[in-house]
Chains A and B, each alone.
Chain A
């Protein structure tokens, strides 16, 4: 079956540094990928929709300059948390749309900012 891979699965960084998280569709092409952030009570908030070859569509309240999303190819989307601060510590998950009605999730990336 289709697989979506995220890397790294766990990252610790110092405050003020930038961190890049990759999301890859391993056996299918994904023109659309989604990035989520986990909040208390386990809900995953949609941050942005990443479209291959065009700018990402950000949800209301998500800082575009803070969370840079690049979807340079049909199998790779990246989320860069710029100038990370402790409040950015969270669990980030990506998903990729396969065929109609299909949505595949990555394993998530745990970011801890010291």
Chain B
């Protein structure tokens, strides 16, 4: 069965520093997509970055980059130059054949001034 693991329930980072949020997944499907979402206190889920299982290069979107290590089945999110507004819950998710989602338990990131 597909599964997403986020081992860090909470993380702290100093403003302007970089932080890595861990995500490992388990699937036997060769085709899948990996997503990271940010959930601020408003409750909505904001899409941050996407990595396809066949993509050769790591995805990047502005200050967000995804460290994709397929053999290790990990898809860590790296946020560079953290800002106070980055404080939120972060969810790693996988979408596999059949278009269903599997979400991880989330990591709460707190950015310190």
Residues of chain A at the chain B interface (Cβ within 8 Å) = 1, 9-10, 34, 36, 41-46, 49, 59, 91, 93, 95, 101-105, 107-108, 110
Contacts and interface: CB of A to CB of B under 8 A. Distances in A.
A9 B103 contact: no
B101 interface: yes
30 contacts: A1-B105, A9-B98, A9-B100, A10-B99, A34-B43, A36-B44, A36-B45, A42-B35, A42-B47, A43-B44, A44-B37, A44-B44, A44-B45, A44-B47, A46-B43, A46-B44, A91-B99, A95-B103, A101-B9, A101-B108, A103-B105, A103-B106, A104-B103, A104-B105, A105-B91, A107-B100, A107-B101, A108-B100, A108-B101, A110-B99
Given A43-B44, A44-B45, A102 B50 contact: no
A103 B98 CA distance: 23
Closest CB pairs A-B (n = 5): A44-B45, A105-B103, A42-B47, A46-B43, A107-B100
Interface of B: 9, 35, 37, 42-47, 50, 89, 91, 93, 98-103, 105-106, 108
The main secondary structure of chain B at its interface with chain A is strand
A34 B54 CA distance: 32
Nearest to A44: B45
B92 to A, nearest CB: 11
A29 to B, nearest CB: 18
Residue with the highest number of chain B CB atoms closer than 10 Å, among A42, A43, A49, A95: A42
A108 B102 CA distance: 9
Contacts of A108: 99-101
Contacts of B108: 101
A41 B61 CA distance: 13
Contacts of A91: 99
